[in-house]
Structure 1
Amino acid sequence: MDTTPSAAHTLLADASVRSRVTIPLRFADGYEVTAEAVTFHGLADGKEHVALILGDPTAAAAPLVRMHSECLTGDVFGSARCDCGPQLREAVERIAATGGVLLYLRQEGRGIGLYNKLDAYALQDAGLDTYEANTALGLPEDGRDYSAAAQMLAALGLAELDLLTNNPDKARQLRDLGVRVRFVEPTGVFATDSNIRYLHAKAEHTHHTIRLPETAAFATLAG
């Protein structure tokens, strides 16, 4: 996609707010907060992404924003094979405390879709890491494009923000699309014996800012 300044400006101007609705959220641990859910017209990829406005985004010098890729297994069913569910829970509370937006992006499996993600899990069980499994399926290691996310931010009037992420590609893509990312704040580290190999792959292969403890399970795999 063309991300020259003029092309990026045209892209960001293409989207508009479609609807707004208030939703009370309640998580499994009892945490509750009210969010304003926003939908959009004109998103570049045609998907039904949604923004959750939490707290008062105008209260801070720059709103805190997280771009969270949909993970049915982790977000809904609590799968311990990834850290998505805990990251989502953490992000909602941190954003609500300072004011900002959570962009919930329909990019299951880093953009490869649910069925392909489960196929990749089977290959990971056979010894491949998360990136090797995707490429073994003939798919990109990470197929996510954040053009629609930049459009959503523009439609909400957010030209400058602090980004909540461990993934340097998210900040890089937003900046290329004309969004001013003031600071990048890391998420927490939610390591378990079930996801430690996955987290190590993200830290080592795509340079996610994750400080990981060694666990008995990973020591066995690495050895």
Structure 2
Amino acid sequence: MYEFDWSVVLDPQLWLQAMFVTTAYAVVTTLVGLALGVVLGLVLVSRIPVLGLIVRLYIHVFRCTPLLVQIVWFFYALPMMTGFTMPDWFAAGLGLTLYMAAFAAEIFRGGVISIEKGQWEASTVLGFSYATKMRHIILPQATRRMIPPIVNQAILQLKNTSLLSVVAMPDIMYAAGALTMSTFRPLEVYTFAALLYLVILTPVTLLANRFELKH
């Protein structure tokens, strides 16, 4: 019978640093990815042929290739190919940011095109410009419909930060791997790591659900 020994996970400094790194990467890459996704989404709904084709190709590549491969590629291959040395922390987060942007662009596009055709036509008849139409009629309604998928994607983004451990970023999973190597107690360590993700994500999920209900 396996006897659990939870004392091996009692290293507050290790876990606090790991939680900070995980949360920082999740927040920054999500916010920057969302901002970039809005820009890409605007290109998609504006139907500019050449730019639209480039954006669709970008989205297709990032949605259809493993995030792990993207992170490794940006961390190792891109500096070798370009000769430009990026800081490790930046290269590690670049894949996460561009991955988030690809999904955010599709969420934005889906939210905009979900608005009934009649509202587009009515605003055109009233003489609204495209910018005014988007700002005052389409986007306020579309934003409410985007909230659930954006929240889901943000949650996935935080869990995706666990892949940063393969490029030695000291996040929760990297800390768990290092502690497992020194204690040989993977069950306790990885169970505790999972609990930390729950601690971080549960308040975010509850707040998002409350915000969604109000809107």
Identify whether the pair has TM-score above 0.5, normalized to the shorter chain: no
The structure with the largest strand share of the pair is: 1
Instruction: For CA contacts below 8 A with separation 6 or more, give which structure has more relative contact order.
Output: 2
Report which of the two has the higher share of helix: 2
Q: Which one has a bigger Cα radius of gyration?
A: 2
**TM-score of the superposition, structure 1-length normalised?**
0.27
